[in-house]
Amino acid sequence: MTLDDVARQCHPPTTPQTIGRLETGMRTVSVGWLNRIANALGVEAQDLVEGGDKAELKVAALVGPGGAMAPRKTAIAVSPRIEDGQVAVLVAGSVGDYRAGDELWCDTLQPGDYARALNRDVLIPRPAGRFLFGRLINRDEEKLQVLPLEAGGRQQIVSNPPWLAVAARLVRAL
């Protein structure tokens, strides 16, 4: 297809000069433009960009006012760069300082490293696909004391979790 063909196939139509500027980097390609051009070409937007190594974080839990739970379907969060042992938490409903739609990229820690998570928000696995999400306020031998982020939430004590994930990065859509 020529630049003119692509420009005419866009909805709404645009000029070949605009398509040329987007293609050569003279104009910044927004997500909206990327989607318009992909539709004009009959491809997915992700086919138009170089992805490099896939940087996908497994979503470990969904968090909301009712607490944290495992997602019903496999989900991923796309990160520009991931490190070993990272997981994501999606905020399904506003809770504490987090808004619905936020993503938390978390670093998993083993029991010997739990002290690094004190006074930080953590995700702790529980039996039957459940999770506890809150602020780690104390670590006493093999017990963790966690304050839920919900208003009026009561402190929870968790014994011997095999791992926990500490929030390392908040991703919020503009």
Strand bridging mode 86-91 / 56-64: parallel
User: What domains appear along the chain, each with residue ranges and CATH number?
Assistant: 3-48 (no CATH), 56-171 (2.10.109.10)
Nearest to 119 by CA among 167, 64, 86, 162: 167
Interacting residues of 166 by C-beta distance below 8 A, sequence separation 6+: 106, 107, 109, 116, 117, 120, 121, 122, 136
Q: What is the pTM of this model?
A: 0.61
Cα-based distances in Å from 103 to 12, 115, 151, 159: 32, 24, 21, 27
Q: Give tens-digit pLDDT for 94-140.
A: 988 899 999 998 999 999 899 999 999 999 998 888 899 999 999 98
Q: What is the mean pLDDT of residues 64-89?
A: 80
| Axis-axis angle for helices 31-41, 16-24 (nearest 10) | 110
Report helix, strand and coil shares of the chain as percent, to nearest 5: 25, 35, 40
